[in-house]
Structure 1
Amino acid sequence: MGSETEKVPEPSTMAMLGMTAMALFGYKRQRRS
């Protein structure tokens, strides 16, 4: 069970990482200008 969870990350986790990356990217762009 543990190995399967490690191989395929949960959609919710991927969504959280994606949203965090987008937020950080947008935050950096706003600070530069």
Structure 2
Amino acid sequence: MKLEISGSGQKVVQQSPMPGTKVETGSVIRIYLN
């Protein structure tokens, strides 16, 4: 799985897919910071 981080803060304001969601191998998880 890949992790894409957007923003420069230290607090996660949004995540895609939502926490707890099962994802397929090779999926991208996006984290948005403030």
Normalised by the size of structure 1, how large is the TM-score?
0.20
**Structure showing greater Rg:** 1
Greater RCO, 1 or 2 (C-alpha within 8 Å, sep 6+): 2
The structure richer in helix per residue is: 1
Q: Greater strand share, 1 or 2? A: 2
TM-score (norm 2): 0.20
